[in-house]
Structure 1
């Protein structure tokens, strides 16, 4: 009888310990790999590429509907021309707001509805031949085929 009680106690302690380990693992996973953090990470990655003038790499982070809007070659050429040549700057600084989750969102009136989208305000600070100025744009991040991607708003 004593052996059964001791083994039952050991089983209960082991079960409680296992449940605690699973809970701790889930909390760590949620804090490190939560969707809002992943959305911010892809937006940050996008603007780090843009900051370095690596427009081909930033274009690769676009959602497929954005890639349809901009061919890769056109985007690379246009982005460098407008921002770097016209503004007379080599690079820029940027900061990101906290993400806001949007349950349903459309990139444009005719576009498909998307679920679980994160809106992040990006403020780019330029220091160029025309002085210092900030450019603010709401950027949207959504998962597409298990990858986080970037979208811009074309609603009017």
Structure 2
């Protein structure tokens, strides 16, 4: 009686499909645009939970010069939570696009390999529902992805 090669071919095909799936997943997850998007998601996840200390940690050094950690924590909580009467918000992240070079503001050091997106935060508070659209930039600084806001006029 002759043995069938069908199980061996099936196992080989299954193994190759698994290797291909792992390779594709690794490729997608390690792409800079995906990593930049994850950083934006993490930043606004912290903001959504009121963890302003954690979100401040994701700022680029140029952003950290704008305000101290304590000032940021106090200001964010005051403006959004207290002043507008908002408990939390929803957010959407637009498409991530690479920019070769960008400056946060006039006179700032130019940054290279920057990723840009627009984040829309939807708030529901004592003044009704409102949306905040903000340009957001992400750049890799010392092997870590960092957030910047646009201060160009």
Same fold (TM over 0.5): yes
Unaligned ranges ≥5, structure 2 = 1-18
Q: Give the match's secondary structure for 1:120.
A: strand
Q: Give the match's secondary structure for 1:69.
A: coil
State how 1:1-156 maps to structure 2 within 5 Å: 27-156=24-153
Q: Give the superposition deviation at 1:36.
A: 0.2
Unaligned ranges ≥5, structure 1 = 1-20
CA-based RMSD of the aligned residues comes to 1.5
**TM superposition outliers: structure 1 runs of 4+ over 2 Å:** 23-30
How far apart, CA to CA, are the structure 1 residues paired with 2:24 and 2:79? 44
Q: Give the match's secondary structure for 2:134.
A: strand
Q: Give the match's secondary structure for 1:154.
A: coil
- What's the TM-score, normalizing by structure 2? 0.84
Q: Give the superposition deviation at 1:27.
A: 4.5
How far apart, CA to CA, are the structure 1 residues paired with 2:127 and 2:24? 48
When residues 126 and 24 of structure 1 are mapped into structure 2, their CA distance, relative to the original with a 3 A threshold, is closer
Deviations 1:85-112 (A, max 9, x none): 1111101000000101100000001101
How far apart, CA to CA, are the structure 2 residues paired with 1:111 and 1:84? 31
- What's the TM-score, normalizing by structure 1? 0.82
Which structure has the larger Rg over C-alpha atoms?
Answer: 1
Deviations 1:29-72 (A, max 9, x none): 32121000000000110000000000000000000111111100
